[in-house]
């Protein structure tokens, strides 16, 4: 809930009326706040703004008036404002949202191994040779790899990965081994996953670990969505790429994101435990009252009501469960 303050300069004692009209009120309808003035002087009134200003993608105009209760309240103009009142107006502008809906992609991984597709024949002399590593598509190589192969008895007998590098897609491996009657052939095999990602390092406000920590292994080319503090994203490992998610939320603002009361369960599971991480809604419809990243265990026999959350921020880890964790219901908050 946003607010703004209106100053009241009272020349008399007693009640003073401060009327205001919100941007979504019917025309000419004013809400009135009374200020009790014990002595003449300067006073102030806090005006509530429904919702929040993170979603105000255009300026919002508020109009209002101030008048002492002892003065005539006649509205001869029929505009909802007493004729003797002092009027005011204020324009509210969009605020910078600290929470931006962000996709974090496991974009590049190391070379895990090399498949020797053909050991070749007649290669000489016996020695160790470097492989030539060529990215599949320009820009796929994040960090270069360094791989040697060993020739013994004219054929490939092994390889050593001196540096696994980092690639978006498996590179092509070739060689400059001399004298091979039958050239050897190789295929690079990438790691299946990125390094563990601790989501709370990038959340926009705060986190609570109820029974687990929000660390996740993300598969290559998979991603998670969180409400992030974008200033922290520079600290992501080079394996990851981040980008704002623009859907129903203006500018990706999480404070504009719709919220739902969500229940999850490992339906049909008979053994094990997994974990879930999610971010609560911004509007006070949860026990935390704001955007909080929550992580907790979910056992095989558990149905977990997470309360009012931003559904897209739900991340699950099946762990030792014999069935995946799925959303079983979602309703309006």
pLDDT by residue (tens digit) across 236-252?
999 999 999 877 666 67
Tokens of 172: 């092509």
Contacts of residue 129, Cβ cutoff 8 Å, sequence gap at least 6: 148, 149, 151, 175, 176, 177
Q: Note the pLDDT of residue 57.
A: 66
User: CA dist 6 to 13, 35, 46, 147, 224, Å?
Assistant: 18, 11, 6, 70, 43
Q: Note the pLDDT of residue 22.
A: 74
**pLDDT, averaged across the chain:** 92
Does residue 162 carry a pLDDT above 70? yes
* β-bridge partners, 280: 309
What's the DSSP call for residue 287?
A: T
Using a pLDDT cut of 70, give the percent of the chain over it. Answer: 96
Averaged pLDDT for residues 164-172 = 98
Does residue 222 carry a pLDDT above 80? yes
Please state whether the peptide bond connecting residue 125 to the residue before it is cis, i.e. omega within 30 degrees of 0: yes
User: CA dist 287 to 199, 308, 313, Å?
Assistant: 21, 9, 17
CB of 142 closer than 8 Å to CB of 108: yes
Top-ranked range on mean pLDDT: pick from 56-65, 94-103, 128-137? 128-137
| Separation CA 116–CA 128 (nearest Å) | 15
Does residue 28 carry a pLDDT above 80? no
Residue in this structure with the two tokens 């091979």, named with its chain if needed: 180
Tens digit of each residue's pLDDT (9 = 90 or more) over 40-96: 999 999 998 876 788 776 678 888 999 999 999 999 988 899 999 999 998 888 888
Q: Note the pLDDT of residue 326.
A: 97
Q: Note the pLDDT of residue 251.
A: 66
Tokens of 52: 């929040």
Does residue 1 carry a pLDDT above 70? no
Lowest mean pLDDT among 2-6, 7-11, 216-220: 2-6
Averaged pLDDT for residues 99-119 = 97
Q: Between residues 109 and 288, which one has the greater pLDDT? A: 109
| Separation CA 202–CA 233 (nearest Å) | 6
| Separation CA 142–CA 197 (nearest Å) | 18
Phi, psi dihedrals of residue 53, rounded to the nearest 5° = -90, 0
Q: Note the pLDDT of residue 233.
A: 96
Averaged pLDDT for residues 13-19 = 95
Tens digit of each residue's pLDDT (9 = 90 or more) over 306-320: 999 999 999 999 999
CATH of 2-92, one of 1.10.3470, 2.60.40, 1.20.140, 1.10.10: 2.60.40
Averaged pLDDT for residues 263-291 = 93
Ramachandran class of 76: left when φ > 0, alpha when ψ lies in -120 to 50, beta otherwise: alpha
Does residue 123 carry a pLDDT above 70? yes
Does residue 99 carry a pLDDT above 80? yes
For the chain, the structural domain boundaries read 2-92, 100-105+195-332, 110-190
Tokens of 170: 């498996």
Residue 153: pLDDT band (50, 70, 90) is very high
| Separation CA 195–CA 199 (nearest Å) | 12
CB of 171 closer than 8 Å to CB of 205: no
Q: Note the pLDDT of residue 331.
A: 95
Global model pTM greater than 0.85 = no
| Separation CA 30–CA 14 (nearest Å) | 21
Contacts of residue 76, Cβ cutoff 8 Å, sequence gap at least 6: 83
Q: Note the pLDDT of residue 296.
A: 96
| Separation CA 101–CA 106 (nearest Å) | 17
């Amino acid at each position: 809930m946003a607010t703004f303050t209106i100053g009241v300069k009272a020349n008399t004692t007693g009640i003073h009326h401060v009327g205001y009209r919100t941007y979504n009120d019917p025309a000419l309808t004013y809400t009135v706040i009374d200020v009790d003035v014990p002595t003449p002087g300067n006073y102030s009134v806090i005006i509530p703004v429904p919702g929040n200003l993170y979603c105000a993608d255009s300026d919002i105009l508020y109009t209002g008036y101030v008048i002492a209760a002892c003065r005539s309240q006649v509205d001869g103009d029929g505009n909802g404002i007493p004729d003797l009142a002092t009027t005011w107006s204020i324009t509210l502008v969009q605020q910078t949202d600290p929470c931006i809906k962000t996709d974090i992609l496991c974009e590049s991984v190391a070379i895990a191994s090399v498949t020797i597709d053909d050991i070749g024949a007649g290669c000489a002399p016996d020695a160790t040779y470097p492989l030539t590593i060529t990215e599949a598509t320009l820009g796929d190589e994040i960090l270069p790899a360094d791989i040697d192969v060993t020739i013994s008895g004219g054929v490939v007998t092994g390889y050593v990965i001196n540096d696994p590098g980092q690639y978006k897609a498996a590179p092509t491996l070739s060689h400059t081994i001399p004298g091979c009657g039958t050239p050897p052939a190789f295929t690079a095999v990438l790691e299946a996953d990125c390094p563990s990602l601790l989501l709370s390092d990038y959340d926009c406000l705060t986190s609570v670990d109820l029974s687990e920590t929000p660390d996740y292994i993300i598969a290559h080319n998979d991603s998670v969505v969180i409400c992030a503090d974008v200033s922290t994203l520079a600290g992501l490992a080079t394996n990851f790429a981040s980008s704002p998610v623009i859907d129903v939320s203006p500018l990706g603002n999480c404070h504009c994101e719709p919220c739902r009361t969500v229940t999850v369960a490992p339906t049909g599971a008979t053994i094990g435990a997994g974990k879930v991480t999610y971010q609560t809604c911004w509007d006070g419809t949860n026990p935390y009252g704001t955007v909080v990243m929550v992580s907790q265990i979910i056992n095989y026999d558990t149905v977990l009501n997470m309360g009012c959350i931003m559904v897209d921020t739900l991340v699950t880890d099946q762990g030792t469960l014999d069935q995946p964790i799925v959303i079983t219901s979602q309703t309006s908050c």
